Amino acid sequence: MQAFEYANPMTVKDAVALLGASWTDANVLAGGTDQLSLMKDYIHTPKRLVNIKNIKELAGIRKAGGNLRIGATVTLDELIDNREVRMAFPSLVSAARGVGSPQIKNMGTVGGDLCQRPRCWYFRNGFGLLAQKNGRSLVDDGQNEFHAIFSQGPAKFVSASSLAPALAALGATVTIAGPNGTRSVDVASFFVAPSSDQQREVDLKPNEIVTQVLVPMSGAKNASYEVRLKDGLDWPYAAAAVALRMKGSTVESARVVLGHVGPTPVVAEGAASALAGKSITEEVAAQAGESAVQGAHPLSGNAYKVQLAKTAVKRALMEAVKRA
Ligand SMILES: Cc1cc2nc3c(=O)[nH]c(=O)nc-3n(C[C@H](O)[C@H](O)[C@H](O)COP(=O)(O)OP(=O)(O)OC[C@H]3O[C@@H](n4cnc5c(N)ncnc54)[C@H](O)[C@@H]3O)c2cc1C
């Protein structure tokens, strides 16, 4: 690993000031479960690491107006164990439960889960986010079984965050602090498909920090479902998260978001429209699954993900309406 300077600020203002104009000047360090692997593999080689775990204002979960405010350094375990989260957002709890091992849930943070880098093995082996060699995609004719079925332009990796689809379905926003103050971005728009290797896959500048996530306490029924290889310590093949505003047993409005199938969480508007005004039965849920994968374009080795995504939508919907 390349030698680096370690900074330990106590405030967001100081942390932002310690970051730099480029990703090689400095990187944020939260739980370190991804950042340190990236540094060991020379994918990130920052001159400075800025530890944010001792900044009190980034910690904790509490109600704030009509939202639940989740601090960026809340660990996945804290999220899973929190009473308010368990009562209002079972989709978030089940997404967090699926992550890795007990050790990862103990160290990994909400901000880190959202900002973790893609797992694409070409990216992790130094070929950049677009996984190209001599201007040609290595993914198209390569090992692409875990890649996107919803590619966006040249971006064929999948967004790695399991929390993102659940948060996007719930209409959550992230707050980002930078040198000029704070800004707020919908979770669904925080993820972007880069068109060059110089771009990041999240809407974050090198001198910005995610400080919190605000999740509206709207009373929407919600659930998420992911399909993974047995109980392996690996990312899901496909996942879906749903949030339903109900009037009695009828869906007033729905949000359906697919995960691990595109470079960003995929908001399935067709599936949401297919649900409006209906009661959820197995048949309606299966139709929503069909609608959700309209527009999917699998690569040579990952057509199986289309069926998994359909099933994930159906099962998430059935789970959401099962809850009182
Ligand atoms: C074996 C294994 C299995 C896993 N399975 C899953 C899975 O199924 N689903 C899933 O979603 N994840 C999975 N993960 C990933 C895990 O959730 C992340 O590694 C973890 O959440 C990252 O959090 P962290 O606090 O350790 O982040 P760090 O490693 O400290 O940081 C990760 C990245 O985010 C940046 N960053 C961190 N916090 C902030 C912030 N507040 N503002 C701006 N930038 C920030 C860092 O600079 C770095 O680039 C798995 C990881 C492992 C090792």
d(CA 139, CA 143): 6
Residues in the chain: 324
- What pLDDT digit, counting tens, does each position of 224-239 carry? 999 998 767 889 999 9
Q: Which is the closest atom of ligand 1 to the Cα of 109?
A: 25
Ligand 1 shell residues, CB under 6 Å: 27-35, 52, 72, 98-100, 104, 107-109, 111-113, 115-117, 160-162, 204, 209-210, 233, 235-236
- What pLDDT digit, counting tens, does each position of 6-39 carry? 999 999 999 999 999 999 999 999 999 999 999 9
Q: Who wins on pLDDT, 256 or 230? A: 256
Q: Is the pLDDT of residue 96 over 80?
A: yes
Q: How confident is the model at residue 324 (pLDDT cuts 50, 70, 90)?
A: low
* Residue closest by Cα to atom 4 of ligand 1: 100
**Which residues are registered as beta bridge partners of 198?**
none
C-alpha distances (whole Å) from 16 to each of 72, 99, 251 are 14, 28, 43
**Ligand 1 centroid distance, CA of 109 (Å):** 7
d(CA 76, CA 103): 10
Q: What percent of the chain has pLDDT over 70?
A: 99
**Ligand 1 centroid distance, CA of 75 (Å):** 10
**Ligand 1 centroid distance, CA of 117 (Å):** 8
**Ligand 1 centroid distance, CA of 100 (Å):** 10
d(CA 22, CA 289): 41
Neighbours of 145 (CB within 10 A): 14
Structure confidence at residue 232 (pLDDT): 72
Q: Contact, 127 vs 133, CB < 8 A?
A: yes
**Ligand 1 centroid distance, CA of 94 (Å):** 17
Q: Is the pLDDT of residue 258 over 90?
A: yes
Which of 1, 4, 25, 33 best tests ligand 1's pocket when mutated (most atoms within 8 Å of CB)?
A: 33
Q: Is the pLDDT of residue 311 over 70?
A: yes
What pTM, to 2 d.p., does this model score?
Answer: 0.97
d(CA 322, CA 174): 29
Contacts of residue 291, defined as CB under 8 A and 6 or more positions apart, other chains included, come to 268, 270, 271, 273, 274
